[in-house]
Amino acid sequence: MTSAKDPNSIEWLGERLARKEDLRLVTGKGKYLADIVIPGTLHAVFVRSEYAHANITGIDLSEAESMPGVVAIYTGENIKDRINPMPQAIVQPNLPAKYPTFWPLAVGKVTFHGEPVALIIARDKYIAEDASELVLVDYEELPVVLDPEKALSRNSTVVHEKDGTNEIFSMTFTGGENEEAQNSNEAEVNAIFESAPVVVKERFKTHRTGLTPMEPRGVLCDWNESDGLTAYITTQRPHIDRLALSDILEISAEKVRVIAPRDQGGGFGVKAPFYRENIIIAYAAKSLGKPVRWIESRYESLMNVGQERDQINDMEIAADLEGNLLALRNKGIADNGVGTTGVYWGFVMPFLGAIELPNAYKWPKAHISLKVATTNKACLTPSRAFGHFPTRFALERCIDMVAHKIGMEASELRRNNLVDALPYTSVTNEYYDSGDFLKVWDTLVEKADISAFRKRQSEALNDNRYIGIGFGCGVELSGVASDLLVPMENQPGYGAATVRLDPRGKVQVFGGDAPGGQGHETTTAQVVASEFGIDPAAVVVTTGDTGTTPFGSGSIGARAGSYFVSAVADACRELKEKITRILAYDLKIEARTEHFEFTDGEVIYIGDRSKKSSFVSIVERIIMFPINLPENEVGGLDATAFFEAAKPMICFNADCCVVEVNIETGDFEILEWMTTEDVGNVINPMVVDGQMHGAIVQGISNAVFEEFVYDDQGQQLTADFENYKLATAADVPNIDIHYATTPCPHTPLGTRGIGEGRPSSIPGALTNAVCDALTPLKIEITELPLRPNSIWEKIQQAKQP
């Protein structure tokens, strides 16, 4: 795009338009939760448990209550009869699981380090902080359970006594709906393994890691009797939060309004659950009749949210000597943590990870099962690569091991087993709607030039340098269809948007989902501009306000590029039909919408291009001068559209990386990273590039640098950035991005969403490259994080005679 072009004449889809959001963000004009000011706001600080598992035998509030400036103090005991406990239907999946009962503040006992025990409300945050240190809590320590396998044993301490077990969820995902069919399928799989010429069997462990948004969580609530509750919440799902607050606090729904701030410093899934802190802050604002604000500290954030992955996968692959994959068998065990987080409850992520385990490969047979254990750790919360970061690591590593065993290029083995015709239904009954996996794969492999790399690798080895190449790929959800989201989260999956034209030809778009910096304002404006033939600068996008936007299930599962923009396009097309009906009437011609062109800020009759109107003029005529209209027409130009795809949709990506390993220290350097994506028709390549860069960096950071660590007493040891290490710019490579797109047949623009699951192929590709570099030592790595010290230990073991 150049400034010399008429902005109305550009076909905006596919343009690298600079992000509309960036000017305010880079100049410090963004408006985050902490920037919202309501006069008379009180400030909240939580007192959090110092123990991972303990009975609360007493709480002394006397000193804190007497401190000047303290307005109120709440404990579990004094709110348990005034606030409904969780679970509540709106935030409880339709899945067979144990759902722990809990309140916003601990009642009777604490179950993880950092659980909220009391809430201080004070005149300012400094007084609240000081008062929180004066609250004296007496604890009677209880045994902790921190290992998921031990938690599932019969003699384990039980975290939630009423459940009688630590097994919060279990399921078999293959073979059918009933136990008899599943057992029969398992027997068939066992028979394949018994006769297969090649079998790889390993235990893969993935550590507890996740994502840390730049802006932590926060909530600001205000109450008055006439309007009810207004809650500003850093959330990806304001409409879900609104319903949940209404149910739990028993406030009539029309009296609850939730607003996600226009600007949020990242979400990545962390801001998708319904959190207990929001409940008690809303309750405090209502009971005090004053605005109350809570801003999460980084310490609180790292103790409580963003923790995911944390799985063991006992995986086996059967193959023949030609490299055909015959069967997959996996028994997964996930460490759920305490399981007290609304919507997801911890186990929903491992659940989806098991469904998506087969990835892009054809599996004639599989037996896939999962057990999820409750432990005395913070509850798992969603993170990008929702549930399948650990399963994809295990699968991609296992496939490389098969290739090593039969002496075949791992890239060739993968290609031979990729799904080659879509639509396709996986062995876990996941539907792959469309695309071309081989096109994506071949584009990547061509860029990688494996034969040239092998020559380079051999030459390097002669110089005692160890370099390697690794691959991974990922089938990801492109939005989440209601068919999956209703059972998984008890919520719909459709996209919704309202498009409103004003008399000056400007456009307002309203969406109920709440983005966290992905560029939705820009891509939405490009869609509208393309439909109406106008400048994106004439489009304003409002999101995340339940008082002004249609119901939306939230910014989750890559919904924006699939469901939300599809609803926007449908709403625009509905308005175009009305505009052209009235314009045809005014021009005294018989014509339908397809006979008109919206371009260059004009609406032109294609049959006679002299018959036209400026876009602004016809819009003003319909809104401001609604007289002499066709029969049954009325003025105004607003449209709301709801989009649900005919089929669940997917996107696909493939990664390749090249590393060099120092066998003296175990250190490694990523020399190259190449990736190929199929996101359907691309609205803005620059925005998608940014999503890919971010996802790959997050994947590398998770796989190599980050880890939540607990000691033997369940104390969280990584609650600051001194101990929880993130990758920096110096740690990550240049990323070479390519596209091999196939338009999606189920969306009006042919677009797909991508970004939600994107990091899942990263740990496998990276670890495969390290193992490929160490081929002379026959080293296979089965655990994350991928650290130099663990690589060095394996090198030393391999050197032993």
Query: What DSSP string runs through 459-510?
Result: HHHHTT-EEEEEEEEEEEESS--HHHHHHHHSS---EEEEEEE-TTS-EEEE
Domain's final residue, options 127, 142, 157: 142
In a shared domain, residues 588 and 635: yes
d(CA 386, CA 476) in angstroms, rounded, equals 10
Is it the case that residue 493 has pLDDT exceeding 60? yes
d(CA 621, CA 321) in angstroms, rounded, equals 73
d(CA 765, CA 656) in angstroms, rounded, equals 6
Instruction: Please count the CA atoms within 13 angstroms of the CA of 245 that sit on its side-chain side.
Output: 33
CATH of the domain at 602: 3.30.365.10
The model's pLDDT over 149-161, given as tens digits with 9 standing for 90+, comes to 999 999 999 999 9
Tracing tokens 């600068």 back to the chain, one arrives at: 537
Output the DSSP codes for 654-718: EEEEEEEE-TTT--EEEEEEEEEEE-BS-S-HHHHHHHHHHHHHHHHIIIII----B-TT--B--
In a shared domain, residues 325 and 469: yes
User: For residue 763, what are the domain limits?
Assistant: 311-482+647-799
d(CA 411, CA 95) in angstroms, rounded, equals 37
Looking at residue 208, its amino acid is: R
Closest C-alpha among 145, 265, 254, 161 to residue 212: 265
Is it the case that residue 1 has pLDDT exceeding 60? no
d(CA 236, CA 785) in angstroms, rounded, equals 29
Mean pLDDT value across residues 231-259: 98
State the total domains in the chain.
Answer: 3
d(CA 750, CA 680) in angstroms, rounded, equals 6
In a shared domain, residues 651 and 638: no
Tokens read off for 264: 């949020």
pLDDT of residue 171: 98
Domain's final residue, options 110, 127, 142: 142
d(CA 413, CA 708) in angstroms, rounded, equals 35
| Beta carbons of 387 and 351 less than 8 angstroms apart | yes
The model's pLDDT over 6-16, given as tens digits with 9 standing for 90+, comes to 565 568 999 99
Closest C-alpha among 788, 781, 794, 787 to residue 202: 781
235-254 burial, b at 16+ Cβ within 10 Å, e below that, comes to bbbbbbbbbbbbbbbebeee
Tokens read off for 508: 């307002």
pLDDT of residue 11: 85
Tracing tokens 């000597």 back to the chain, one arrives at: 321
In a shared domain, residues 351 and 332: yes
In a shared domain, residues 559 and 654: no
d(CA 273, CA 378) in angstroms, rounded, equals 14
Mean pLDDT value across residues 94-117: 97
In a shared domain, residues 369 and 387: yes
Cβ-based neighbours of 418, under 8 Å, separated by 6 or more: 360, 361, 362, 437, 438, 441, 473
471-484 burial, b at 16+ Cβ within 10 Å, e below that, comes to bbbbbbbbbbbeeb
* % residues pLDDT > 70 (the chain): 99
| Residue 202 belongs to some domain of the structure | no
Give residue 5's pLDDT band: very low, low, confident or very high (50, 70, 90).
Answer: very low
Mean pLDDT value across residues 102-109: 98
112-140 burial, b at 16+ Cβ within 10 Å, e below that, comes to bbbbbbbbbbbeebebbebbbebbebebe
CATH of the domain at 122: 3.90.1170.50
Domain's final residue, options 107, 124, 142: 142
Give residue 67's pLDDT band: very low, low, confident or very high (50, 70, 90).
Answer: very high
Mean per-residue pLDDT over the chain, rounded: 96
pLDDT of residue 34: 96
Instruction: Please count the CA atoms within 13 angstroms of the CA of 160 that sit on its side-chain side.
Output: 21
In a shared domain, residues 75 and 125: yes
The model's pLDDT over 555-604, given as tens digits with 9 standing for 90+, comes to 999 999 999 999 999 999 999 999 999 999 999 999 999 999 999 999 99
d(CA 757, CA 446) in angstroms, rounded, equals 24
Three-state SS string over 39-73 comes to CCCEEEEEEECCCCCEEEEEEECHHHHCCCCEEEE
| Residue 343 belongs to some domain of the structure | yes
d(CA 101, CA 31) in angstroms, rounded, equals 36
Beta pairing class for 228-233 and 218-224: antiparallel
pLDDT of residue 10: 64
The model's pLDDT over 510-522, given as tens digits with 9 standing for 90+, comes to 999 999 999 999 9
Tokens read off for 773: 């570099």
**CA distances (Å), 713 to each of 52, 111, 157, in order?**
7, 12, 13
| Residue 407 belongs to some domain of the structure | yes
Is it the case that residue 103 has pLDDT exceeding 50? yes
| Beta carbons of 103 and 132 less than 8 angstroms apart | no
Tokens read off for 496: 């919704």
d(CA 635, CA 545) in angstroms, rounded, equals 26
Instruction: Please count the CA atoms within 13 angstroms of the CA of 273 that sit on its side-chain side.
Output: 29
Tracing tokens 């880890």 back to the chain, one arrives at: 707
d(CA 267, CA 235) in angstroms, rounded, equals 8
Looking at residue 686, its amino acid is: M
| Beta carbons of 93 and 484 less than 8 angstroms apart | no
d(CA 194, CA 449) in angstroms, rounded, equals 37
| Residue 756 belongs to some domain of the structure | yes
Cα-Cα-Cα-Cα dihedral sign, residues 677, 680, 686, 688? negative
DSSP letter, residue 179: H
| Residue 635 belongs to some domain of the structure | yes
In a shared domain, residues 559 and 618: yes
| Residue 236 belongs to some domain of the structure | no
In a shared domain, residues 324 and 459: yes
Phi, psi of 181 (to 5 degrees): -65, -40
| Residue 794 belongs to some domain of the structure | yes
The model's pLDDT over 156-195, given as tens digits with 9 standing for 90+, comes to 999 999 999 999 999 999 999 999 999 999 999 999 999 9
Tracing tokens 């406030």 back to the chain, one arrives at: 251
**CA distances (Å), 480 to each of 260, 512, 573, 687, 756, in order?**
21, 16, 24, 21, 11
**CA distances (Å), 197 to each of 187, 221, 339, 763, in order?**
18, 64, 42, 28
pLDDT of residue 129: 98
**CA distances (Å), 523 to each of 572, 584, 591, 649, 753, in order?**
14, 31, 31, 20, 12
In a shared domain, residues 397 and 535: no
d(CA 479, CA 431) in angstroms, rounded, equals 13
Is it the case that residue 71 has pLDDT exceeding 60? yes
In a shared domain, residues 459 and 520: no
| Residue 255 belongs to some domain of the structure | no
In a shared domain, residues 321 and 409: yes
